[in-house]
Amino acid sequence: MSLNEYFDAAILELKKGTSQKKHPFRYFTLASLQPNTGIGIRPEVLRKVEENLDLIFYTDKRSAKIEEIKIHPRVSGLFYHPKKLLQLKIVGQANAIEDSATLKTYWNGVPTKARKDYTTNLAPGTPITDEQAVDFLENENHFVMVRIQVNEIELVQLQRPEHMRIRFQITNGKWNGTRLVP
Ligand SMILES: Cc1cc2nc3c(=O)[nH]c(=O)nc-3n(C[C@H](O)[C@H](O)[C@H](O)COP(=O)(O)O)c2cc1C
């Protein structure tokens, strides 16, 4: 397989992550720079892969990661496909989508049950007592979308006789791959 074929196959899998409920690329681990501990890390659901390969996920605008990416937009995302033994590590700049019309359109597409993820009365991460119930807002939400402008995708394909590791970087809108020692 050529480097380009590895790239195309990887992107196809990434897109499946947004359309197939059980696909392992539905989830990725997002790493960011946390101002106090230095490390911010958590799983996210991949919602959309845009034409230019920007990635979109949804969150609550009060969550720690939103503050973190405001200060340090550079993030990394890790995808792992256990059956295919395929790892994709993406690197890019993350920013919250502020446009209210866009947010409204996508909010309208969030199923009623899932809306609770963006409507807690208190901000995510607020300490509460063991007995305290989590209250939800009725007519407002803190839904936000985050776009990751991806500029690097590193692929590791475990296989015999030789593993494959390729770093793809985008320059002037074109992705170029460099093979690396695995
Ligand atoms: C399987 C799984 C998927 C998750 N997906 C999302 C998601 O798409 N968006 C989100 O905001 N939080 C998601 N979470 C919760 C986050 O991982 C995290 O706990 C929360 O957003 C607070 O993160 P922060 O304090 O680092 O901002 C998910 C958790 C799990 C276990």
Residue 37: predicted pLDDT: 87
Pocket test for ligand 1, best of 42, 78, 97 (most atoms within 8 A of CB): 42
| CB of 65 closer than 6 angstroms to any ligand 1 atom | yes
> How confident is the model over 7-33, as pLDDT tens digits?
999 999 999 999 999 999 999 999 999
Q: Whose CA is nearest to atom 2 of ligand 1?
A: 43
CA 179 to ligand 1 centroid distance, Å: 33
* pLDDT (0 to 100) of residue 134: 95
Q: What is the SS3 assignment for 114?
A: helix
Q: What percent of the chain is modeled with pLDDT above 90?
A: 98
CA of 41 to the centre of ligand 1 (A): 9
Q: Which helix (H) or strand (E) holds 61?
A: none
Atom of ligand 1 nearest to the CA of 41: 26
Q: For domain 3-110+143-180, which CATH number applies: 3.40.1160.10, 3.40.50.2300, 2.30.110.10, 3.40.50.1970?
A: 2.30.110.10
The tens digit of pLDDT for each residue in 70-128 reads 999 999 999 999 999 999 999 999 999 999 999 999 999 999 999 999 999 999 999 99
Q: What is the pLDDT of residue 89?
A: 98
Q: Is the CB of 125 under 6 A from ligand 1?
A: yes
Residue 112: its pLDDT value, please? 95
pTM: 0.96
Cα–Cα distance list, 67 to 40, 144, 147, 155 (Å):
11, 13, 14, 29
| Residue 146 backbone dihedrals phi, psi, to 5 degrees | -115, 130
- Best residue among 21, 25, 44 to mutate for probing ligand 1's pocket (most ligand atoms within 8 Å of CB) is 44
For residues 78 and 72, the answer to whether their CB atoms sit within 8 Å is no
- Centre of ligand 1 to C-alpha 124, Å, is 10
Could you tell me if the CB of 29 is within 6 A of ligand 1? no
Query: Which among 61, 36, 77 has a CA at the least distance from the CA of 123?
Result: 61
